Structures are given as C-alpha cells and as structure tokens.
Structure 1
C-alpha cells in the first residue's frame, strides 16, 4: 500500500543521535595505500567453522578501486616480528566502500591464527595494494569456467560477485571442491546468485560427506569425466583456477588430457595463505667489511613515484635494502615465487634469481621482482 510522502520524517542530520557514514554526502576520494596506510576492521563474519571474512574500510571514508581477483598485502607485527602476508580480496569492486578478505585458520599458521584471534571491529591494519594479475577483468570472454578448491574460492568469488552486482549475466560455471559439505565457503551465496542469474551455474564436489547425512551432491574428486558432465562445453570457456598446488596440478593434467588451449587457462600461481617459514625471515644483513670491493659496492636505488633514494649493497636484494631504509613495498614470499613485489625498472640492471613469480615476457618488458634482485648498477624503480 502506498503511503503519503508527508508521513515520512527523516531524522535531522544534525541530531546527535544520528551517525552518518563517512561515504554519505560528497563523492569520496579513492583510497591508495600511499596516502592512507591503515584500514580499520568494521565487521567479521564466520563463514565456516574455520573460515572468517574480515571487512575493512577507510577511516577517512575513501572508496576502493580494484579488479576482481586481486589481493592485498597486510603489514603485521606479531610477537614483535614484522610479517607481510597477502590475502585475496573476496568482495566485489562494485561495492567500493568496504572490502573483505576471507581467511582460513591454518593449524600452526602464525598469521591466519592471529587474524582469527585478534582482528575484530575497531582494530586497524597497515595495508598495501591492491595488486595482482589473476582477474577476469583482463580476459573478457563470453563464457567462463571457475574452478576452485578450499580457500582458493576467494578470487573467483570476487569475480562472481562483481558480475552479479553489475547485473551482467555472463555465462559462468563455478565448480568448487571442498573436504566436506560443511567446508564449502560461500555455499548459500553462490546458490543465491545461481537462483537469480539464468546463466550462472554452480556445482560442489566434496571429498567426503562428513557429518552431513542429507548431502545429495557429488562426492569424490574433480575428474575429466565429471567435468564433462558439469560443463560439457568447457573446451569453449575461459578457465580460471585457484586452490592448493596439488589441486591446480590435477586440473592442469586433466585439461591437458582434454587438449585444452593453455592460452585460455589462468591460475593463481601461489598460495598466499600457506607461505613457507622463509617468508617471515628477517631482512639480510649488509655485506661484511672483509668481502671484496666488488661485493661491497653500493648502488643508488631511486623510487620515482615516492621520490625516495636509498643505498643498496651489491650482495643485498633491493627489497632488503628498502626495508632497512623504511621504504614500504608490497612483498610476501621473499623467494621470487608470488610476484607480489613485481615492479617496473625505469633504468638500470639487476641480477634476478626468481622461482617462477615472473614471466619471461614481463622480464623482457623491464619488470623485476625486488625480493630476489641484486643491483648491477644504479636503479630507477617505477614505485
């Protein structure tokens, strides 16, 4: 029934009882970690028994701009030790006033356990990013196949949420694998999206039933025959995959068996949630004075955008030197694997020994990973 407009009495904004969100009113500025280093937790949601989503906002009311599938780097201090860790953004860029990360509690995991036990509304975090190239935004296609396992669901959830929020009913098949039905992250929301979008289909594959006695879905592991049943036209789709390394290898093997074109296959090449202990190692010490003059040579590193200059020894990585000088740079694995510290070299040369975190075409374009690059000359970095 229609109500007379005169019956509505909005509260006076000057009323002390009213708390106006920072983003109501004038168009807010865009958030960047160079201008505002910290974000504040505004909400925590328990997704499953060992998974939580943490919602973050800008204290100044700035909005976020990112591509679905990108990640943030958290700068934490746990037990007096500085630790950087990357987490994929699970929220949609179409909802720019907050963003979320979804974290699985890993047994013995220093960072995931700290976040689960300590990050609550009102707690602030130092954050860098967003960054990353694993995003459907850079690979537009009429049909997608999203394959995920465990917490690898997060970047694909961000992509799914973005398509849903923008009312873009793209042909998407989302296949998620989990240990048990109770371990399926975002199960209800994925089913809701599927119910409201004609061309969005979801399917869950569980290793075992677990405590559920009413599970009517697929039990076992993703295989080529099963994939053909779920998505008979998967050979025509752009495929995005994220999950534990064994899962992604199994997916690559079954797609190779089917003869799928690798140029239409994309995967998140590193699991940020399960970084090795080496990622938390302190920065390397400068070379000892007894070393040869070549080894003790020092080069000037200029960061073009921040207008900072630092000195870096010939046997130091650029990332180590930057950390010692107090320059904030996104980093995570410190082994040349994750690609978080990838930058463009405007000038100069480096000796880079990476472990797969950068592609040859990117190296040919002048990109480098600062965590595994030692200077061979003075450098100018586009950062």
Structure 2
C-alpha cells in the first residue's frame, strides 16, 4: 500500500516565553499555507536521543483572527518531546509536522461558548475563543484553573482580549494557591444561567472528569484529551499469553522488523510492545494520533478514531492503540514511520 508524505517542514520564526515552563512557537510552513480550524492540532515529528518521540500540540492561533500560526508547549517533567523543544529549538530552526487534525472544533450554535481550561488546556480553548469572537456574535466565557499566577498561561493575552471585547468575553481565573482546588460547586456557580451553552473542556484528566461530571445542563460538552487517562472500560485488555489466533503480526520500526503470532483482541500497539518495540503513544484512547502507523499488509479495524482524517485512513494509516487485526487477516504488517 503506497504511502504519501505525512510530514511537512516549517520554520520557527519567533519564540515567546509565556510562563516559566510554557513557550509559544510561531511557525511558517515552507511549502505553502497550512489549513486548519480553531481547536485543532498537529503531530510534530521529534527525535530524542535517536528515538522517535512524536507528540500532538494544539494551535494557540486561530484562522481569521491571527495572521501567523502558533502552537504553545508546556514543559512536562520527564517529558522527552516538550523538554527537547524547550531546550533545543531556536528561532530559525525547522520542525516537521503533519497536516492539522482533531475534532475539538467549533460547532454551529447560538448559545454562549463556555471554555473550561486546566493548565495548558487553555491552548486549544484560546484558539476556539478567538475564532468565536472573530466569526460569530456569541458570548465567550472561560474558566481557567491554574496552580498560581506564575503558571497562568496567556494571562496577559486574555486580559487584553477581554478588554477589547468587554461585552462578549469574560475570563474567570481560579488559582489554587488562593482558592484551593476547583470544586464542582465552583463549576456550577460559573455556569449559572448558561446551562444550555456549549462547553469545551481541556486539561489534565482529573480536571476534565470533574468538569464533565459537574455539567448537568442541557448543553453539549466537547472534550480534548491528549493523554493521562485510562482506556475505556469497554476495551478488552491483552488476552493471556496461551490464547492464540491464526496468523501473524509483523512490526517494522527504525529499520527493525519482528514477526509474532496474533492474539485475539490485541491491538497493534500491544503487539508492537510484545514484539520488543517501544512505539510512540500518548492517550491510548484514539484521540491524539501519536501512535499512528501505516498498514503495509493485511487489514485491521479501529475501535475508535477521533484523530485520523479520511484520506489518511484511505491511505492505510491506523491508530495502533485502537487497531485490531481482522480475524481473517492471516498476515498483518504495520510500519511506524
């Protein structure tokens, strides 16, 4: 199955230090405009110490609002990719990234937009807020939770934006060091009379679970998850080693090739690990595309796909955390590019 170029190059034209551990990278694609929607992200191809560490990072810019393309990355303790970007990338360097992807995008509505942001979760929500202000008449209300003022990403940006749109943008800052941890009561108080509004939620998994459980109104809820959560309970775990299925799975990665016996219900990501590889992954829920690879032979079915575009699926790309070889596929070959 032929493969089309997945990554394109972009020059880092400017770097802004948002907080002590968050930086915004302004990107200029080398081969023409990059088309994207507010709230989307790209997968960046990053190699750290000779090992691939692709990661998904959201746009903090918005088409129709910003003339430049920006993505904002928070340094994560122990995070290979985020630390590499902070420590090694300088203005003038080039990065490789995929086309825009993701479904955390604006849905048509006449109700206000409620944004719930935990830490760096403000990044795609800021993009959505900008797009809403630029292209609609809707009100935007943001609840931003941070540990303290020093870690509040885009504090000044949002303050300026609210001053420019005093009748349409309201930003509520919840700082843990002043008010304690965010509670369900805080969330319900913030929602107030807007229980029918669309809610967009992004942040650490405990934060997102709290917000989602506290939203009891009739409004739609859209969430963006990039990692840290558990796989859905309905997804079966790897079967015992003694259970076998007819056929083989071959994994190709960084010039290495390993073939193992299929196991019923085992995802290609699980097979790759069992074959001795350390493939890239993040959310393991079908949301981020960090684990994507291409099927060179055989067929597999994805349990969920909230990341790959239709043309990528048509070309043979799969989310290996969700792709299970079909029972009638005697031989499956998957390659991490």
TM-score by length of 2: 0.72
SS in 1 for 2:54: strand
Q: How does 1:158-307 map to 2 (within 5 A)?
A: 158-166=127-135, 168-197=136-165, 198-209=167-178, 219-255=179-215, 259-261=216-218, 264-271=220-227, 294-296=246-248
Structure 2: state its 5+ residue gaps.
Answer: 231-243, 251-258, 273-279, 333-337
Q: Which residue of 1 aligns with 2:24?
A: 53
Change in CA separation of 1:240 and 1:335 when aligned onto 2, cut-off 3 Å: closer
1:65 is the counterpart of 2:35: yes
Contact 1:339 1:357 survives alignment (8 Å): no
Q: Which residue of 2 aligns with 1:328?
A: none
Q: Which residue of 2 aligns with 1:279?
A: none
Structure 1: state its 5+ residue gaps.
Answer: 1-32, 210-218, 277-291, 299-311, 323-330
Q: Which residue of 2 aligns with 1:26?
A: none
CA RMSD of aligned residues (A): 4.1
Most deviating of 230-239 and 172-181: 230-239
In structure 2, how many angstroms separate the alpha carbons of the residues matched to 1:192 and 1:164? 13
Q: CA deviation at 1:36?
A: 6.6
Q: Which residue of 1 aligns with 2:237?
A: none
In structure 2, how many angstroms separate the alpha carbons of the residues matched to 1:163 and 1:195? 16
**How many residues were matched structurally?**
292
SS in 2 for 1:153: helix
Q: Which residue of 2 aligns with 1:375?
A: 325
Change in CA separation of 1:35 and 1:224 when aligned onto 2, cut-off 3 Å: closer
Change in CA separation of 1:321 and 1:231 when aligned onto 2, cut-off 3 Å: closer
Q: Which residue of 2 aligns with 1:335?
A: 284
In structure 1, how many angstroms separate the alpha carbons of the residues matched to 2:249 and 2:152? 54
SS in 2 for 1:134: coil
Change in CA separation of 1:374 and 1:195 when aligned onto 2, cut-off 3 Å: same
Change in CA separation of 1:78 and 1:192 when aligned onto 2, cut-off 3 Å: same
Cα deviations by residue, 1:42-69 (Å, 9 ceiling, x for unpaired): 1100001111111111124x22221111
Contact 2:113 2:199 survives alignment (8 Å): yes
Change in CA separation of 1:126 and 1:321 when aligned onto 2, cut-off 3 Å: farther
Q: Which residue of 2 aligns with 1:116?
A: 86
Change in CA separation of 1:177 and 1:100 when aligned onto 2, cut-off 3 Å: same
Q: Which structure's CA Rg is the greater one? A: 1
In structure 1, how many angstroms separate the alpha carbons of the residues matched to 2:319 and 2:210? 28
SS in 1 for 2:187: helix
In structure 1, how many angstroms separate the alpha carbons of the residues matched to 2:260 and 2:301? 12
Most deviating of 68-77 and 100-109: 100-109
Contact 1:270 1:337 survives alignment (8 Å): no
Change in CA separation of 1:42 and 1:314 when aligned onto 2, cut-off 3 Å: farther
In structure 1, how many angstroms separate the alpha carbons of the residues matched to 2:200 and 2:261? 39
Higher relative contact order (CA 8 A, sep 6+): 2
1:38 is the counterpart of 2:6: no
Q: CA deviation at 1:131?
A: 0.6
Cα deviations by residue, 1:133-182 (Å, 9 ceiling, x for unpaired): 1112x34343111011100110101111223344x342111110000112
Change in CA separation of 1:58 and 1:95 when aligned onto 2, cut-off 3 Å: farther
1:125 is the counterpart of 2:105: no
